[in-house]
Amino acid sequence: MPQDPRSSRLAAATSPEPWDVLVIGGGASGLGTAVEAATRGHRTLLLEGHDYAKGTSSRSTKLVHGGVRYLAQGNVSLVREALHERGLLRKNAPHLVRDLGFVVPAYEWWAGPFYGIGLKLYDILAGKLNLGSSKYLSREAALERTPTLQPEGLMGGILYFDGQFDDARLAITLLRTLEDHGGVALNYAPVVGLLKEDGRVVGARFRDLETGQEHEVRARAVVNATGVWVDDIRRMEDPAAKPMLSPSQGAHVVVDRRFLPGDSAIMIPRTDDGRVLFAVPWHDHVVIGTTDTAVPGTSFEPRPLEEEIEFILGTAGRYMNPAPTRADVLSAYAGLRPLVSNEKTDGVGSTASLSRDHVIRISPGGLITLTGGKWTTYRRMGEDTVNRAEHLAGLPERLTITPGLHLHGWSEEPREDHWKVYGTDAERIQALSGADIRLHPELPYTEAELRWGVRHEEARTVEDLLARRTRALLLNARASIEAAPRAAAILAEELGKDEAWARAQVQAYRDLAQGYLL
């Protein structure tokens, strides 16, 4: 049996020498910050309380985009920055990001010219990093690209281009990139307190969930990048800290590819709640979403509300033929957005109008809190945060190299199968035992991928393997439940656990995955 690699990571994390940068949180913002710090040569430790991208960062609409909706709101600077970052990410992770055409259907005479002008501006803002020029489509051309568009009343459409990606796989790729550059990361290591000296934050205390032991780590700069949970960490320093966030929920449903058989996505520009709705081909399935619902609190397993499901299916049904129904939903998921409240208000009101931009706040004790933003701008968030950390902590101030940094597994090989997300690691995985044994007839994944996830990608639970190392849970929740016993057996074998442990893992996964079924 292979030795559990976690023990060496834990030993490295708890070495007595202080870190230059300690990052709390293993989602998009935390991983981006840690990669930025490590690639500048700073000793970097990242602590994640659950699993990497367990929260918001694995529950997105799967788009690397400038934000067409923010353009409509007049937030040109946010769109320009996001389009720039979209282009960089496309170059730095071509195995994870691909160009995708979006058809905006026009059912009113004014819709084509109106949206066409806006999307030309989108092209212009992208500059040299544009993915492709938008253009008008005739009715026939629109139906050729998206054959399941509702034909009745269709006058034509606009075609524009954005990027698409796999969010949790990008998180794991950033984890591997961090380790490639000498950084250390540990999951299932929640921070339970901050260390302070003379009023300054000088480190953190974390609990190893696998042993129950607590450890202290010291650092010159401490970054709170815990997404919708940043206020919990801020209150560890100052119990009276006013909340920064007003979380909002976005729900999605996943259906079979027959509902969108072409190579293009559909973008519905104006829904009843003022958002845009996307239907996006993803891993040979279709993701439809999203919503924007204010929620009173945070949860590690948010669930789509009944009205969100009705809204998504009702809106999609007006534009897609055949219309997807509840019976067609293979998985339904929700994520929480860390929306930054206006400091002049109490955070009450429409979440659609709150800031999607990232915010960095430094407390009187020197805790650096990064929140807001979105996956597309993860790199820029990390760059801005490390610039502040260097200045604040007296670290050597070094130039960023991440705009041109090839991420782990970088590959331009034009493969279209499910192995593409592993980049150059794919061949090594295919050499493992079980590379030709499918986990389930309705899922593309193999037993070898699970072994790889445990050995090289820090997976510790069946959920880690089926929700984030592979995307089985989101593609087909029921099939993933059926695959769970085999996944647990492989995990137990890799980690040296007994059958009772494996049975408990299966039960825990079944309980979780039931929430993804309607």
Residues found in the chain: 518
Q: Going by C-beta distance under 8 Å and a sequence separation of 6 or more, which residues neighbour residue 154?
A: 105, 106, 107, 139, 142, 143
Is-contact 67 121, C-beta < 8 A?
no
Find out whether 246 and 341 touch, Cβ atoms under 8 Å: yes
Both structure tokens of 68: 């067409």
pTM of the prediction? 0.96
pLDDT for the residue 345 = 38
Domains and CATH numbers, the chain: 6-56+169-243+355-404 (3.50.50.60), 69-163+246-337 (3.30.9.10), 418-514 (1.10.8.870)
Q: Tens of pLDDT along 111-150?
A: 888 888 888 888 888 888 888 899 999 999 999 999 999 9
Per-residue burial over 405-441, b if 16 or more Cβ lie within 10 Å, else e, is: bebbbbbeeeeeebbbbbbebbeebeeeebbeeebbe
pLDDT at 109: 83
- What share of the chain has pLDDT > 90, as a percent? 82
Interatomic CA distance for residues 197 and 424, integer angstroms: 46
Measure the CA angle with vertex 163, ends 159 and 169; round to 5°.
Answer: 150
Residues 284-309 as b/e (b if ≥16 CB within 10 A, e otherwise) read: ebbbbbbbbbbbeebeeebebeeebb
Q: What tens digit of pLDDT does each residue of 397-452 get?
A: 999 999 999 999 999 988 878 999 999 999 999 999 999 999 999 999 999 999 99
Q: What's the average model confidence in pLDDT over 467-492?
A: 98
Would you say residue 347 has pLDDT above 70?
no
pLDDT band at 68 (very low <50, low <70, confident <90, very high): confident
Q: Residue 112, SS3?
A: helix
| Averaged pLDDT of the chain | 93
Integer Rg of the chain from CA: 22
**Tens digit of each residue's pLDDT (9 = 90 or more) over 213-231:** 999 999 999 999 999 999 9
pLDDT at residue 357, rounded to an integer: 82
Distance CA 425, CA 433 (A): 15
Nearest to 224 by CA among 21, 52, 30, 31: 30
